[in-house]
Amino acid sequence: MQTCDVVILGAGAAGMLCGMEAGRRGRRVVILERGPKVGQKILISGGGRCNFTNVGAGPAQFVSENPQFCTSALARFTPEDFLRMVEAHQIPYHEKTLGQLFCDRSAQEIVAMLLQECRAAQVEIVLNSQVQVVERGPRFAVRTGDGEYAGDSLVVATGGLSIPKLGASDLGYRIARQFGLAVVEPAPALDGFVFQEEDQRAFGGLAGVSLDAIVTCGSTAFRENVLWTHTGLSGPAALQASLYWRPGHPVQVDCLPELPGQTLVQWLTDQRASGSRALLKTALSQRLPKSFCEAFCQLYSPTETPLVRLSNAQLTAVCDRLHAWTFVPERTVGYGRAEVTRGGVSTEELSSKTMEARRVPGLYFIGEVVDVTGWLGGYNFQWAWASGWVAGQYA
């Protein structure tokens, strides 16, 4: 059995950040990674350029049953703190829309940076290490297929259930339950919506069509692009809204936010007053994709009636529908495409100062396995860095 101070399960963003911080404190650290390489989610993020943080990351962009839990970690390790490390390693980066920061060249540079920092802190990383048993005696003992490891502290950084092709598993949740900790029911998040059969028939022909829209779930709304697929609705605004969606709840889409409220009605009324003989779908196609206008008008307006013959009530009804098109998804696409997993180890079980389980001294949970889930756009990486940094100060 190999003995060390800290055993970390998972060599992803949170696990490696935690490992290097604990190692800097002189702790002997072993990271056990079940896959063949480290940082696999880092490597695929941002189209291979890694959206590694967001300059505006704060508690407001995170979902949890305890929304304030993440406040301490995010305040103590900020996007600026991570940027200092990126700049020290001379990794060029750029800011895209909404505060998102990406590598100029490749996500591999972030992984290489973390590996270099881990090596400098004398952190050992063991790949292809399948955890079989976790036990607690005088120390935490972890048995894998090719060895046993014991440590005073055990840090669980195993991630969630999203993207199973990268080796996602429920190991972290099983360990939490083994030690009597509550787990908020996991669900796929930041993934597209799947229409019910009726809406699939109506809009399935729009696959590939995108437009600027506001997507609302409950009291939370996002304005970005949406993208119709063969089975539902995707694109950044839909993915963001999926974080707040629950089965059976409606999703509302404002399909033309650039002409809000009565502005759209007035625009159509002015065209009608000019004597235009164009059909409504033709008029709308000046502002929206033609195929969308055809499908929308087929469902919600007199399709072959010229604009000049439509009443004020008919125009208002169509505009209201465009600004508040509502559907109830059958489900989201699922873990295969979901960016992250919502839910996880209950924050009621953890110290926000240390990420340590309140009732199990020496046991820590960090990153995606915890019930803290951020918006699309670098927020979840910032949570991984911040929670990993915090645990690294105490584990």
**Contact present, 240 and 375 (Cβ < 8 Å):** yes
Same domain, 200 and 319: yes
Same domain, 238 and 218: yes
Please provide the distance, in angstroms rounded to a whole number, between the alpha carbons at the two ends of the chain. 20
Give the pLDDT confidence score for residue 285 in this predicted structure.
Answer: 93
- What are residue 239's DSSP bridge partners? none
Angle at 244 (CA atoms; ends 240, 249), nearest 5 degrees: 120
Round to whole Å and give the CA distance between 184 and 146.
32
Round to whole Å and give the CA distance between 110 and 175.
29
In the chain, how many domains are there?
2
Q: At 243, which CATH number?
A: 2.40.30.10
Give the pLDDT confidence score for residue 111 in this predicted structure.
Answer: 98
Give the pLDDT confidence score for residue 333 in this predicted structure.
Answer: 96
Same domain, 181 and 322: no
**Mean pLDDT of successive 10-residue stretches along the chain, which has 395 residues:** 96 98 98 96 94 97 97 98 98 95 97 98 97 96 95 98 94 98 97 95 92 96 96 97 97 94 88 85 92 89 79 90 96 96 98 98 98 97 98 98
Same domain, 212 and 247: yes
Give the pLDDT confidence score for residue 303 in this predicted structure.
Answer: 67
Give the pLDDT confidence score for residue 302 in this predicted structure.
Answer: 67
- For residue 169, the enclosing domain spans 2-187+339-392
* Predicted TM-score (pTM) of this structure: 0.94
Same domain, 103 and 42: yes
Give the pLDDT confidence score for residue 375 in this predicted structure.
Answer: 97
The residue among 96, 84, 10 whose CA lies nearest residue 46 is 96
Round to whole Å and give the CA distance between 74 and 383.
7
Round to whole Å and give the CA distance between 119 and 103.
22
Strand (E) or helix (H) holding 188: strand 183-189
